[in-house]
Amino acid sequence: MKDKIIKDSYTYYFADGTKSTVAAKDIGQEWLDILHEMDEEDRKKQYNYSRRNYPLSQVDYEGETFVDPNADPFDIMINNIEREKMDAAFATLSESQRTLFESIHFEGKKVADIAEEKGITIFAIYKRMDRILRKLQKFLN
């Protein structure tokens, strides 16, 4: 157990920059100890809070937030490619190609569910996705 350090005064710091000191003989050592313990608790809380909580401005660098290492690899790829170039590449897709791509990659639909909705085979969906990805890759290179 640590020995308690006895302090004989307590200083209040006010928002306007002034300070006022109170001596133990004026308020009693018991109250002075309580004030010092409260300060120590506040100091510990502030230290622990600042260690574990970061404002979002700290994880933002030139408009880009840090990438989550557990994120989907496709999401990481999209974040690394210039937004304008991706928009131009998507503009080269037909409406049905864009809808299929968005259904799988943005809405998270399963290929089997899409095939059932359209009344075609799963292989046909994979073949279409292959064509879409090759078209996007050709445009982006």
Q: Which ranges in the chain are annotated with CATH 1.10.10.10? A: 61-140
Per-residue pLDDT reduced to its tens digit, 82-122 = 677 888 888 899 999 999 999 998 888 999 999 999 999 99
Phi, psi for residue 102 in degrees, rounded to 5? -65, -40
Q: Residue 56 has what pLDDT? A: 58
If 0-12 CB within 10 Å is exposed, 13-18 middle and 19+ buried, where does residue 114 land? buried
E strands, the chain, are 9-13, 19-23, 60-61, 64-65
Q: How far apart are CA 101 and CA 17, in angstroms?
A: 61
Q: Residue 1 has what pLDDT? A: 34
Q: Residue 6 has what pLDDT? A: 55
Q: Residue 2 has what pLDDT? A: 41
Q: Residue 53 has what pLDDT? A: 61
Q: Residue 110 has what pLDDT? A: 92
Q: Residue 96 has what pLDDT? A: 92
Beta bridge partners of 13: 19
Q: Quick check: pTM over 0.85?
A: no
Q: Residue 21 has what pLDDT? A: 85
Note the CATH architecture for domain 61-140.
Orthogonal Bundle (1.10)
If 0-12 CB within 10 Å is exposed, 13-18 middle and 19+ buried, where does residue 32 land? buried
Q: Residue 51 has what pLDDT? A: 62
Q: Which residues of the chain have pLDDT under 70?
A: 1-6, 49-72, 76, 78, 80-82
HSE (CB half, 13 Å, CA atoms) of 123? 0
